[in-house]
Structure 1
Amino acid sequence: TPPNSSAPITPPLPPTPPILNALSPSPLPPDATDPIFARAINTLDETCRARLLRPAAEYNAEIIRIACETKKQQTTDSAKYARDRARYRKLLVKRPLALATMMSTIDTEVANAAARIRSLSSRRKTIALGIRRRATEAINEYRQRRLVALRVDLEIRLTRKAEDSRALEARKLQQRQEGKPMFDASASFTLQERYQHQPPYVPGPLPTQIGPLCLSPTEAASMRAVQDTPVNNQTPRILYSDGSLLNSGTPEVSQAFGVVDLTQDNTLTVKGRTDGHASSAKAELMGLLTAVLSAPPEQDIV
């Protein structure tokens, strides 16, 4: 049976709207000078961009799916109408006028089917675009609400900061009027120079340098004794180190450190002192450094 030739031809549709990229939030406002406000704005923008990625990805996936289904339907219709043309050419081979009429009818049906497919595809794309637009508008509304809240917080913070500054200036003025001296950290915490500089050179035996350390001959010999011990990495060797600061803040200030190796038949010790800036942390670190330098190079230590 030939296709129905009385079906109306669907009028042409407007072009399909293009695929939109993810909408980016508006740029930062010009009053983003407060560090806290600027960080909050950056965090808000990153959050909005992350939220915009999902509707954009869903929209693009829907557009691709619609395009694939449209192409599949067009391929199916093309194959169907190609079979119809071949069949009617065979049946009406001896009736050219009827064949021409039938070919015209099939061409009309092809155009109508293509128009229906385009119309359906356009409607589905419009629906997908509307869903994405609503999601984008919701995110932008959320951003605007957060911006208002952040600006309110900024105004409150700046107001409090200004009030604190005025109160501080008022206290300073009151102290000046009452003749009270202002707090001066440099005058209150004077640097004791004589305890911070290297002591004067005292003649003695020439030091021995091991790595960054300059040691006396006795200290160097005790360190060499530990370095010359046999290596055994079945278990890491345990070296104990310590450092002490004595008589801090006095002319008799001293910093000493020591290392003990209890893994040998005879206990080996390395001890010494350090000069310069007085610090308990410095003495402890010198002990750790001495322990590392005292161990044999291939020995695992803890």
Structure 2
Amino acid sequence: MARSGNEQVSYRRAPNFLTANEPEKRLDIRLSYKSFRALEEQALTLYGISPVEYSATDSRVTIYTAPTALHGYSAVNLQQAISFAVYNILVQHQKQELFERIVAVGESTYSSVNDQGRRSTKTPDAGLSYYYDGGTVLTIIMEVGASEGYTHLNADILLWMNEFHCRTAILFYNKECPKFKFPGNADTYSINDRPALEHTWFGTLDTAVLEVFKRDQNTDTCKMVVQGGSLDIGLTIGDVLPPNEDAIQDIRGERVHLRINFVRNMLASGSHDTAVSRFNHFIGED
């Protein structure tokens, strides 16, 4: 998600990219889904097409909007995978009652006010918080990108840690290559042609980077390491629960491992459903 101030800037710049009608450039525009939908109506007007009359078969305008299935699957399942791994560790140490205090935050909007009184709002793709002593502490946020700018995602991570004071942030970056483009003529496709193998509806997922950033360690990153059937991403129990939770002092350094097959299936499912969604959108109803 884009920050509210930057979103307005992107919204004003977006028509310039739309008139060029180059999908690989439009993917660099980072807006909320609501703004993308509003932008789509603007694009139709630019091309002289009434939104009511618009058909997906009109090759003059092809609007690819976020989020994709790959983006959504990665966010929600990464959150689930970390929660499941944490639960297993707590059970091993007979501390499973602490798991009831870990709450998934989803796409919740957070706000921050700096020393000059400037207010910022930000919404993570996913995250975990911990409830104790009558309050809730945001412990982990997750930012997921699918063919978005890696530099922009890193900037979001630093914002979470420096301005919103989140101790741990996870970046999961998936890059589709070649970048997807709709074919020029939908009339050659039929709903019965699934999966329409003559066109590539999803490129090769050639990059999958998962990094853990920790503010207490000068924002050094911990890249994932494969160990047998699991991934060590540098995350510990002490990153998931607050530092003043006395019940985990003896296991604070315990590593949180993700199952490789879970991550692999998550990416495969997201890629497949993204391809199906693109095909259906392209030949869908008016």
TM-score (norm 1): 0.19
Q: Which has the higher contact order (CA 8 A, sep 6+)?
A: 2
Larger radius of gyration: 1
Relative to its length, the structure with more helix (as a share) is 1
TM-score (norm 2): 0.19
